[in-house]
């Protein structure tokens, strides 16, 4: 049962083919890790799916609905949310406000000028809930700019998660973060995926994390897919091993 | 027919002056990412200093030919002001929020406008004697001062020199490198602070030169700085901030439109200009050649 | 380390803020009883400047857009009143507000729509350019606007004609009554603005200010929010213009000139633009500062320019920011000892 599908998706930057005719399928409810060396095209693919970039050619279909030319706002409304590789937060606002804004935005409440944000009990409850799931409840009142790097990463994911998307795209959510926090992020994401709430596509470099949490691993190399399978299948794949170890590919 | 030719010459004269102002503004923005709100006032200072020098020289019976030296001296004095201002008042703000830079240059605008009034008073300062130094041309039965042609030539020469410096000298390479990526340039060993000061100095020189060469054709008056600033903004909006070509194209467009406008619909000429600017912005939000 | 329970931290601070506000309000209410007429007038101008600054700062402090052309909205407000007097013969303050507010709102909407499509620097340029166009129109279309002489505005009636100010003591009565009238509107404006910046809309604006990319990626439509902020901002400043002209008795093109925009910017900076009360303090303080400067020297523009540059260099968070930092510093010292 596929949630999102790309058809011959292409994106080129000058001479570099970041996405070289990709036919990508994301299944509903799966935890998919997107791996590969730097420059393989992973972030570009995520950028294309989230409308951060427009493709040169090809299609993106969400449950067979063509969303290739929709805007960022439209894709969020359709249920696609993302976090960023370099932490991207509202540093002047508190952690609480950062998450609350996602909730307000999702519910279409951001045009409300005539009532105090703090008085919306539903939003407040949900925000505290999300913060709790990510272990940030105690830091709720702190300005996002003052949090430690690990907490900021968690918050970045929480902000995307609070949009209650159907598809959550996480770009290196565990980079620069302690082992404990890695586990926390991945445990949370994993549990909401298991609960059938969200499908997750995660760009990751930490192979331990990848093998431990993923249902499916897709490896990219120079703009194309090199391997696609369960963790066991990938473990057995010689090409993957060679890429990871730097040896030449089999013919 | 002759009137038409004169209108064109007048437009070119105006374009020449506008180009100098706008190119200076664009250069400073291109290299340093600063919009200098006091740029118009520096143009005014150039005009006032030059007019004052000419007036003082005439009082001392300096020969007419030497009076022309007042032009580069006026421009250089403005460059000097720029070289003093940049390290003192602008450098502290490069790492701070953009708003602070704009606020500082706005404060400078206020300071300069009143400083001009303080030093030279409210009566217009003219320098039209310089026009007498050059012959009067006959264009189809009408008179036209050769000085105006000199202004056009100076503008064109300045454009060529600037283009040459930026694209064909080592310093130009440094300028372009710094404008592309300041940190990278610094990491490669370029003395970024020196580049900034020189770039700012050149930009101010251009503004001052614009004021210097225009003042024999029209007296220096209070408020000319802000008027020039607003028009210069229209030029860079049309042509694009940070682009030399844009400054040239924008200056020509604005000059011709304005000259025609003043001739045919004086009350609305400014409005028409803004309409054109708004139109360009709708199609190309960064101006025709902009890098902003 | 604060924990959030049932009450948000702001709710707990609310009683303190409210108490301070009430105290200040009481002070403002009793001041006219024992000051000279001239001081009452000056304070009225101060409150008007505070309203203008409050509106301006919605754009600067909360949305991150620096406008150099806010004089346009102040001037449109003032000229609307003057034209209404001249052509419709209306004399009631309520009528001025009823007609003036929609006019400044529409003006802000139109100009805002043009301006917010652009990046910060072009935004500043455009706002400056628009106000200069209005200035030149006001100057040149003298048969409509009275040119450089401007248009006179007589003393209005307050409360739908209930309070009329003709007669021998009319002026004194007017000044004192008008002070309370303006004070009332000032309070309404402050409360309105406070609610707006603490609403979901206000939070969204601050998010857009802090990180435009992320704001887009939580689904906020950047341009729309900036446009609405511009509209509200221009309307507040326009209301200040509407209130200003009956007191001044006259409006001239000066009120549309870039220097006046600069004064509005100054007031926000003086008080501090990163907090709510800053513009209010700045507006009132600036009124006194300018009066002093004008009385001291013919070159007060120069003086103000120097003060502005010094402020930016030395006290970028403004008066309120400085006080708040001093307060924190004292707080830390007390905690240590």
For C276-289, what is the mean pLDDT?
92
- Taking a C-beta distance cutoff of 8 angstroms, is the pair B35, C121 a contact? yes
Domains located in chain B, CATH noted: 2-283 (1.10.3470)
Residues of chain B with pLDDT under 50: 292
Q: What confidence tens digit (pLDDT) does each residue in C53-72 have?
A: 999 999 999 998 999 999 99
What is the DSSP annotation of A209-243? Answer: HHHHH-SEEEEEETTEEEEEE-HHHHHH-HHHHHH
Which helix (H) or strand (E) segment is C224 a member of? Answer: helix C222-248
Q: Which residues of B touch C68 (CB under 8 A)?
A: 37, 102, 106
Nearest to B40 by CA among B203, B202, B267, B257: B203
pLDDT of C271 > 60? The answer is yes
Separation CA B227–CA C139 (nearest Å) = 14
Q: What confidence tens digit (pLDDT) does each residue in C127-137 have?
A: 888 888 898 88
- How many Å lie between the alpha carbon of A139 and the closest alpha carbon of chain C? 8
Yes or no, beta carbons of C316 and B292 under 8 Å apart: no
pTM assigned to the model: 0.86
pLDDT of residue C255: 93
Q: What angle do CA C236, A109, C98 make, to 5 degrees?
A: 25
Substitution target from C200, C204, C231 for chain A, most A beta carbons within 10 A: C200
- How many Å lie between the alpha carbon of A250 and the closest alpha carbon of chain C? 41
- 3-state secondary structure (DSSP) of residue B261: helix
Other C-beta atoms lying within 10 Å of the C-beta of residue C152: 14
Its ipTM equals: 0.83
By C-alpha distance, the chain C residue nearest A125 is C6
By C-alpha distance, the chain A residue nearest C208 is A90
Other C-beta atoms lying within 10 Å of the C-beta of residue A214: 23
> Strand A57-62 relative to strand A65-66: parallel, antiparallel, unpaired?
antiparallel
Other C-beta atoms lying within 10 Å of the C-beta of residue B282: 10
Categorize the per-residue pLDDT at C14 as very low, low, confident or very high, splitting at 50, 70 and 90: low
Substitution target from C118, C308, C314, C317 for chain B, most B beta carbons within 10 A: C308
> Strand A167-171 relative to strand A80-82: parallel, antiparallel, unpaired?
parallel
By CB atoms closer than 10 A (0-12, 13-18, 19+), residue A68 is middle
Nearest to C241 by CA among C101, C55, C77, C46: C77
Separation CA A117–CA A123 (nearest Å) = 9
Biggest CA pair distance of chain C: 71
| Interchain contact B161–C (C-beta under 8 A) | no
pLDDT of residue C6: 40
pLDDT of residue A21: 86
- Taking a C-beta distance cutoff of 8 angstroms, is the pair B106, C308 a contact? yes
Nearest to C217 by CA among B75, A170, B16, B135: A170
| Interchain contact B86–C (C-beta under 8 A) | no
Other C-beta atoms lying within 10 Å of the C-beta of residue A235: 12
- 3-state secondary structure (DSSP) of residue C152: strand
pLDDT of A168 > 50? The answer is yes
Categorize the per-residue pLDDT at C259 as very low, low, confident or very high, splitting at 50, 70 and 90: confident
Yes or no, beta carbons of B110 and C118 under 8 Å apart: no
pLDDT of residue C1: 36
pLDDT of residue C12: 52
| Interchain contact C60–B (C-beta under 8 A) | yes
pLDDT of residue C284: 94
Yes or no, beta carbons of C128 and B230 under 8 Å apart: yes
């Amino acid at each position: 049962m596929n949630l999102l599908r790309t058809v011959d998706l292409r994106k080129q930057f000058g001479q570099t083919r970041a996405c070289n005719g990709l036919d990508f399928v994301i299944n509903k409810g799966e935890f998919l890790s997107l791996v590969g060396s730097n420059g393989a095209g992973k972030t570009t693919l995520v950028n294309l799916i989230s409308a951060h970039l427009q493709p040169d050619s090809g299609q993106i279909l969400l449950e067979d609905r063509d969303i290739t030319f929709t805007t960022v706002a439209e894709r969020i409304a359709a249920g696609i949310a993302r976090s960023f590789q370099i932490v991207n937060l509202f540093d002047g606002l508190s952690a609480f406000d950062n998450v609350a804004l996602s909730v307000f935005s999702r519910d279409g409440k951001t045009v409300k000028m005539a009532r105090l944000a703090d008085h919306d009990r539903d939003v407040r409850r949900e925000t505290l809930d999300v913060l709790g799931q990510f272990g940030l409840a105690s830091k709720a009142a702190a300005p996002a700019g003052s949090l430690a790097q690990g907490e900021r990463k968690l918050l970045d994911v929480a902000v995307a998660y609070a949009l209650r998307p159907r598809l959550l795209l996480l770009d290196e959510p565990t980079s620069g973060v302690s082992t404990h926090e890695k586990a926390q992020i991945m445990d949370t994401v994993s549990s909401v995926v298991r609960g059938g709430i969200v499908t997750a596509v995660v760009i990751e470099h930490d192979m331990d994390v990848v093998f431990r949490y993923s249902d499916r691993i897709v490896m990219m190399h120079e703009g194309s897919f090199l391997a696609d399978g369960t963790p066991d299948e990938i473990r057995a794949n010689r090409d993957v091993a060679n890429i990871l170890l730097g040896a030449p590919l089999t013919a | 027919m002759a009137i038409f030719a004169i209108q064109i010459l007048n437009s070119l004269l105006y374009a020449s002056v506008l180009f100098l102002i706008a190119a200076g503004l664009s250069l400073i923005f291109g290299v340093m990412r600063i919009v200098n709100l006091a740029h118009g006032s520096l143009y005014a200072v150039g005009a006032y200093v030059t007019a004052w020098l000419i007036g003082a020289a005439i009082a001392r019976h300096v020969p007419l030919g030497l009076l022309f030296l007042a032009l580069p001296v006026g421009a250089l004095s403005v460059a000097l002001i720029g070289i003093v201002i940049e390290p003192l008042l602008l450098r502290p703000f490069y790492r701070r929020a953009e708003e602070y830079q704009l606020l500082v240059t706005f404060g400078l605008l206020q300071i300069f406008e009143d400083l001009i009034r303080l030093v030279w008073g409210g009566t217009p300062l003219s320098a039209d004697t310089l026009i007498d130094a050059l012959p009067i041309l006959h264009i189809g039965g009408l008179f036209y001062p050769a000085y105006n042609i000199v202004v056009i030539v100076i503008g064109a020469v300045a454009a060529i020199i600037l283009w040459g410096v930026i694209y064909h000298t080592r310093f130009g390479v440094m300028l372009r490198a710094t404008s592309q990526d300041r940190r990278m340039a610094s990491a490669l060993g370029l003395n970024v602070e020196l580049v900034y000061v020189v770039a700012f100095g050149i930009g101010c020189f251009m503004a001052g030169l614009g004021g210097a060469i225009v003042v024999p054709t029209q007296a220096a008056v209070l408020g000319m700085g802000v008027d020039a600033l607003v028009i210069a903004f229209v030029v860079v909006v049309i042509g694009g901030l940070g682009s030399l070509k844009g400054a040239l194209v924008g200056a020509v467009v604005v000059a011709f439109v304005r000259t025609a406008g003043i001739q045919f619909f004086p009350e609305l000429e400014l409005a028409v200009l803004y309409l054109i600017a708004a139109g360009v912005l709708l199609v190309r939000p960064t101006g025709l050649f902009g890098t902003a | 380390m604060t924990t959030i329970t049932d009450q948000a931290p702001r709710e707990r601070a609310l009683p303190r803020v409210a108490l301070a506000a009430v105290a200040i309000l009481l002070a403002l209410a009793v001041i006219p009883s024992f000051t000279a007429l001239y001081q009452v007038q000056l304070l009225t101008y101060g409150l008007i400047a505070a309203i203008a600054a409050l509106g301006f700062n919605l754009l600067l402090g909360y949305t991150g857009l620096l406008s150099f052309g806010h004089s346009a909205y102040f001037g449109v407000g003032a000229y609307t009143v003057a034209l209404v007097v001249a052509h419709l013969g209306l004399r009631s303050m309520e009528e001025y507000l009823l007609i003036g507010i929609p006019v400044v709102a529409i003006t802000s909407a139109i100009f805002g729509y043009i301006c917010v499509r652009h990046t910060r620097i072009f935004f500043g340029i455009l706002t400056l350019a628009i106000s200069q166009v209005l200035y030149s129109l006001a100057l040149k279309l003298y048969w409509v606007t009275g040119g450089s002489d401007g248009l006179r505005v007589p003393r209005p009636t307050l409360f739908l004609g209930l309070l009329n100010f003709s007669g021998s003591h009319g002026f004194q009565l007017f000044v004192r009554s008008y002070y309370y009238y303006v004070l009332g509107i000032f309070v309404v404006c402050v409360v309105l603005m406070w609610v707006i910046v603490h609403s979901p809309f206000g939070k969204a604006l601050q998010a857009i200010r802090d990180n435009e990319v992320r704001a887009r990626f939580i689904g906020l439509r950047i341009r729309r929010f900036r446009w609405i902020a511009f509209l509200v901002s221009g309307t507040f400043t326009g209301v200040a213009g509407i209130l200003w002209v009956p007191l001044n008795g006259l409006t001239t093109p000066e009120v549309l000139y870039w220097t006046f925009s600069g004064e509005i910017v100054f007031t926000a900076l003086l008080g501090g633009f990163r907090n709510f009360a800053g513009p209010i303090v700045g507006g009132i303080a600036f009124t006194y500062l300018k009066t002093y400067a004008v009385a001291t020297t013919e070159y007060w523009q120069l003086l103000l320019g120097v003060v502005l540059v010094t402020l930016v260099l030395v006290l970028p968070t403004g008066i309120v920011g400085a006080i708040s930092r001093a307060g924190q510093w004292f707080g830390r010292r007390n905690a240590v000892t």
